[in-house]
Amino acid sequence: MVDRSIRGAEPDALGVRERILETASALFYQRGVRAVGVDLVTESARVAKTSIYRHFGTKDALVAAFLAAEDRDFWSAWGRVAREHPNDPQAELDAQLEWIGHRIERPNYRGCPQINVAAEFPESDHPARKVAADHKREMRLRLHEIALRLGVNQPDELAGQLSILINGAFVSSQLVEPGEAVALLQRAAHALIAASRE
């Protein structure tokens, strides 16, 4: 939903900004950020090049906006699942791994946008890399909170293990047979949880 309350922004201007971001996001995800130039974005979005610089300033800022939008979508889905299981951390974790498993089995899945962009930009101070790093820290924090509620002996270690499990799934989707991702994730998580209780 476009926020019309942004000070000084005209509806048409907001429409252009959203069109640029949606177009760039699709291109960045499908082809990779470095492979997509500003000219391709402007041509595909049917806007003038000056519109990109007026709304985003630089390509780097556009990339960061793409990742920020992906971040919001991811945590929105995570939050919906969490609200369905407020008093059952095991059920919540299983449900989180279920939607993540289905996500990586989509035909158009090209990996985690944050991991993809971080791999393309080794500079630690790149704005998009910062968004990606923040996303991964947030994942570990949320998994740590679940681990605490599970009552395991070493919740921080379990959170780290679950983070590696999930991020490993994001980069290994081509190794997963159709329909098996959810079970693989859930069984691995159950084994890690059992080991954390020994």
pLDDT at residue 6 above 60? no
What is the span of the domain harbouring residue 103? 64-196
Where among 22, 40, 57 does a domain terminate? 57
pLDDT at residue 86 above 80? yes
The predicted-structure confidence for 112-132, as pLDDT tens digits, reads as follows: 999 999 889 888 888 888 888
Q: What is the mean pLDDT of residues 151-161?
A: 97
Domain annotation covers residue 1 = no
Q: How far apart are CA 40 and CA 23, in angstroms?
A: 10
pLDDT at residue 157 above 50? yes
Are 12 and 106 in a shared domain? Answer: no
Are 33 and 129 in a shared domain? Answer: no
Provide φ and ψ at 119, rounded to 5°: -70, -30
Are 125 and 95 in a shared domain? Answer: yes
pLDDT for 97: 98
pLDDT for 8: 39
pLDDT for 75: 96
What burial class does residue 166 get, using C-beta atoms within 10 Å of its C-beta: 0-12 exposed, 13-18 middle, 19+ buried? buried
Higher pLDDT, 121 or 7: 121
Please, which contacts does 176-182 make with residues 24 or more away whose CB atoms are closer than 8 Å? 176/104, 176/105, 178/105, 179/105, 181/101, 181/102, 181/104, 181/105, 182/97, 182/98, 182/101, 182/102
Average pLDDT over the chain reads: 90
Where among 36, 57, 78 does a domain terminate? 57
Q: What is the mean pLDDT of residues 148-157?
A: 96
Q: What is the CATH number of the domain that holds 167?
A: 1.10.357.10
What domain count does the chain have? 2
Are 149 and 100 in a shared domain? Answer: yes
pLDDT for 84: 97
pLDDT for 12: 57
Q: What is the CATH number of the domain that holds 28?
A: 1.10.10.60
